[in-house]
Amino acid sequence: MIFTPEKYKIKDERMKPFIDVEEIEGYLESVRPDRQRVLDVIAKSLDKKRLTLEETAVLINATDPDLIEAIKDGARTLKKIVYGNRIVLFAPLYIGNKCINNCAYCGFRAENKDAIRKTLQQEEIKQEIMALEENGQKRLVLVFGEHPEYNADYIAECTKIAYSVKKGNGEIRRVNINAAPLDIEGFRKVHQAGIGTYQIFQETYHPEAYKWYHKSGRKADYNWRVTAFDRAQEAGLDDVGMGALFGLYDWKFEVMAMVRHTNHLEACYDVGPHTISFPRITAASNNCIKPEYEVSDEDFTRIIAILRLAVPYTGLILTAREPAHIRTEALSFGVSQIDGGTKLEIGSYSESVNLDQDLNKEQFKINDDRSLNEVIDELLEKGYLPSFCTSCYRMGRTGEHFMEFSVPGFIKRFCTPNGILTLAEYLMDYAPEHTAKKGWEVIARELKDLEDENVRNEIEDRIEKIKKGKRDLYF
Ligand code: SAM
Ligand code: SF4
């Protein structure tokens, strides 16, 4: 049968599911790109245009080693022209691992009797936040299992606590959330509490595979999850982070589906996702996964390059689930945010929270256990500008990645200056001498590269203020 895309196109409607398996499979099976077509698609992306499903399939189905290299090169170029040198840093904070669901891959699932359940008490959350602040963190993502206790009111309360705790010069300036999908009212509440991004990963977009991994609990409802960002948008929360858990189903399908999800949000709400995450599954306590979908390192770096080109204006997040060498490679062609100093055991950032000596409290294993400063050290070594910037969302510049991408000079006017100022704060407050030395060198180079003398003078002026004790100066 000949694949006729028009036949399969689902009309995008608010709050309605939008994934058509036959449409995605149809593209993957029918698109056979020649060399020129692949190069044309890369050129379209470098021209700062989001790719269609068909064009994404062109990149996915390009298997010649030199074409794969061309895709990676394209991603590197795009990363340079859109995002500059800066890499935004954050840390996850696990608040509680009670869970009513049974996701086959996750150590927190209800049926895993080996998991010790813990929810941080208010005082413990404060201790954890202080410990994170003492390391220099400014941006957090609070992570929750799915449980009636972790409702919208509770998430809002945890958010407010996180913003309220100050230790020395430390403070949390942006709280993102990774938790179960809420209803419209719930999204409104957490939005009012001042959260940044609400992250929800679809895990797998393939409905049959989804059913297999999520046999019971609230999460078994595929449609409730896939329409979650629609409800967020209806509630006025336009800052959402999507993701798929790679290793559950065919990676090609998941990449196509995330582009489809992006199209849906653009079609209905005129705004795409703020970030895309693409965690690869890692070992977890008693987890159950299908080895045939395991994603090799080689395919994983291809996935990142393809996503970079397919959705050029969206931030890409890579976490400590990945080993340091993959993280380093991924940075060069597209990742814009990473975590540093990550600990997943609940209550493990501070020494004062009482921990059982049992690692089963972790949701899964991490592969990069370097401290925040070690991560920063390496970024500086490689010439990146580590940034703790939280300015856009506090200045009401939402849809920030879109602006970075489309507004001429946006990066030079806002992102680089704010990256420099937040790095200067870090160097003054938290960095050991060897890191500070490298950091000031990177700042000097970034300043030199700025074309606008007025902007340069203004930043230099503010750095002097930071050296004299002022904090939180942003553009
Ligand atoms: N409970 C909420 C949910 O499921 O959406 C949010 C928190 S859950 C702890 C965050 C994410 O961790 C999940 O969306 C899933 O993608 C990821 N995850 C679960 N098990 C994992 C594993 N074994 N390896 C890597 N990531 C995993
Ligand atoms: Fe619970 Fe989330 Fe883990 Fe599923 S992924 S078992 S919902 S914590």
Nearest CA to ligand 1 atom 11: 201
Average pLDDT on 171-189 reads 98
Nearest listed ligand to the Cα of residue 179: 1
Average pLDDT on 291-317 reads 93
Write down the pLDDT at residue 283.
72
Write down the pLDDT at residue 353.
59
| Cα gap 22→26, rounded to integer Å | 6
Alpha helices (H) in 119-278, listed in sequence order:
122-135, 152-164, 184-192, 207-213, 222-226, 228-234, 251-269
> What b/e sequence results for 258-269 when a residue is b if at least 16 CB atoms lie within 10 Å of its CB, and e otherwise?
bbbbbbbbeebb
Nearest listed ligand to the Cα of residue 110: 2
Q: Count of residues for the chain?
A: 475
Lowest mean pLDDT of 173-177, 211-215, 364-368, name the range: 364-368
Q: Residues 323-361: pLDDT tens digits?
A: 888 888 899 988 999 999 988 888 889 976 555 544 445
| Cα gap 67→74, rounded to integer Å | 10
| Cα gap 243→266, rounded to integer Å | 16
**Residue 3 pLDDT level (bands cut at 50, 70, 90):** confident
In the reported structure, the alpha carbon of residue 143 is separated from the centroid of ligand 1 by a whole-number distance in angstroms of: 9
Write down the pLDDT at residue 404.
63
Write down the pLDDT at residue 456.
96
Q: Which residues does a 6 A CB cutoff place in the pocket of ligand 1?
A: 105-106, 108, 143-146, 178-180, 200-201, 203, 245, 279, 281-282, 284, 287, 321, 363-364
Q: How many CB atoms lie within 10 A of CB 360?
A: 18
Which pTM value belongs to this model? 0.95
Flag whether pLDDT at 185 surpasses 50: yes
Write down the pLDDT at residue 44.
96
Lowest mean pLDDT of 174-188, 213-227, 284-298, 332-346, name the range: 284-298
Flag whether pLDDT at 188 surpasses 90: yes
- Give DSSP secondary structure letters for 403-461: HHHHSTTHIIIIIHHHHHHHHHHHHHHT--HHHHHHHHHHHHHHHHH---HHHHHHHHH
| Cα gap 61→97, rounded to integer Å | 39
3-class DSSP assignment, residue 105: coil
Average pLDDT on 28-54 reads 95
In the reported structure, the alpha carbon of residue 252 is separated from the centroid of ligand 1 by a whole-number distance in angstroms of: 20
Whole-Å CA distances, 384 to 77, 139, 322, 337: 15, 18, 19, 12
Closest to 142 measured CA to CA, from 98, 90, 93, 97? 93
3-class DSSP assignment, residue 198: strand
| Cα gap 241→225, rounded to integer Å | 13
Q: Are 273 and 241 in contact (CB under 8 A)?
A: yes
Q: For the purposes of burial, counting CB atoms within 10 Å of the CB of 471, is it exposed (0-12), middle (13-18) or buried (19 or more)? A: middle
Q: Residues 100-154: pLDDT tens digits?
A: 999 999 999 999 998 899 999 999 999 999 999 999 999 999 999 999 999 999 9
Give percent of the chain with pLDDT exceeding 70.
Answer: 93
Q: Among 219, 225, 248, 288, which residue has the most ligand 2 atoms within 8 Å of its CB, making it the best to mutate?
A: 219
Write down the pLDDT at residue 359.
43
Nearest CA to ligand 2 atom 4: 103
Write down the pLDDT at residue 406.
58
Structure-token pair, residue 192: 């009012």
Write down the pLDDT at residue 102.
95
Higher confidence at residue 378 or residue 360? 378
In the reported structure, the alpha carbon of residue 364 is separated from the centroid of ligand 1 by a whole-number distance in angstroms of: 9
Average pLDDT on 280-285 reads 79
CATH number of 5-18+79-370: 3.20.20.70
Residues facing residue 280 across a β-bridge? 246
Average pLDDT on 165-191 reads 98
Nearest CA to ligand 2 atom 6: 109
Tell me the domain boundaries of the chain: 5-18+79-370, 412-467
Residues facing residue 178 across a β-bridge? 143, 199
